Amino acid sequence: MRRDQAGKVGRGALTLLIVFPIAAAALSIPYYHFDALPVAMLAWQGLIAAVVLYGAAHLLRAIRLALLSAPALNVQMRTVVYLHFHTAPVSFIVPFKLGELYRWQQLAWVSGNPVGSLVILLLDRTLDAIVLLSVLAGVLASGRQLPPGMTWVLGLLALATVLGLIAVFIVPNCLCMVQAYILSRHSAPRARWALRIVDSTRLMIGSARERLQGNVILLLFISVIIWALDGGVLIVLARLLDPGGQVSVASWMTVTLFPDAATTDSMALTTLYAAVCLFTLFLVWPVATGFYIARLKSRSPATTAQRPLSARRQRRIHLYSADRML
């Protein structure tokens, strides 16, 4: 995707913005066997409650992403909120959450900062991982045994947490050391190009770290509410399928995180959950995508240059000083 010389979005990019999320969600429909939906679909009161809970959870996810990325990437919060809902249907691509790649592409496209966008999404996933690891730790502390299939889920959550903490607390210091080495040992033009990349990444991660440290309690609280709402959706749907049944931690995490790994016993719950998710998102997706495209069309290089002292301008000042030192 690219813009023309006037900063506008091309017709091909607009077509792809509309077609790709719809196609991605449509391709997932045969996987979930929606032709065999249970009779619980007739219980419209419970389904409305599930739709409201899931919509609230997604709204909080969009707000959390906006709080993380807007100041760090110099993007307006409303744009990030619209971007989140626009990219949400692509998350139904299985296996795993491969739709995050599309969210990263869109965030990098809007901000012009691919590395920073990747770090922001990693921090976003780290907040989820911290909450889910806390839930699993509570389950293990209570003496219950996790199913064998949850071991690799636990490993992935631990890996996401470690990578996020490394990106926030260790990588900036390493980049400072690399930057000092380039300034003291190299003076070729390509060294200045490398310095620009290192400095841009360092400033962005530093901004994200300041935002995370200043709002860590709020962001963690939002994450807890998000997963509580997701759990509420599963409880409502499980009661529709089996009024006397209960949703285990394993079923909750499997259905919400890795629906492609659901067992035969939970396939009905997975299918009903996917139906609620798709219905909720496509109530919001056309409106969010319309506003998102409108904001993309209104963006131009001139509007970026007229903003107050931003991260880009700070980088120019820093690189000017570095050139004088070289």
Taking CA atoms, 137 is separated from 96, 120, 185, 280, in Å, by: 22, 26, 48, 31
Sign of the dihedral defined by the CA atoms of residues 288, 278, 55, 254, in that order: negative
Range ranked top by mean pLDDT from 53-57, 114-118, 128-132, 179-183: 53-57
Per residue in 223-275, pLDDT (tens digit) is 999 999 988 888 888 877 776 666 666 666 666 665 555 554 566 777 788 88
- DSSP character at residue 317: H
Does some domain include residue 310? no
Does some domain include residue 230? yes
CA–CA gap between residue 132 and residue 252 (Å, rounded):
11
Taking CA atoms, 226 is separated from 60, 99, 135, 220, 274, in Å, by: 7, 19, 13, 10, 17
Range ranked top by mean pLDDT from 50-64, 86-100, 224-238, 273-287: 50-64
Does some domain include residue 182? no
Q: Number of structural domains, the chain?
A: 1
Quote the domain boundaries for residue 43. 11-156+216-300
Does some domain include residue 107? yes
Per residue in 212-231, pLDDT (tens digit) is 767 888 999 999 999 999 88
Confidence of residue 2 (pLDDT cuts 50, 70, 90): low
Does some domain include residue 308? no
Question: Residue with structure tokens 């007229």?
Answer: 306
Is this prediction's pTM over 0.85? Answer: no
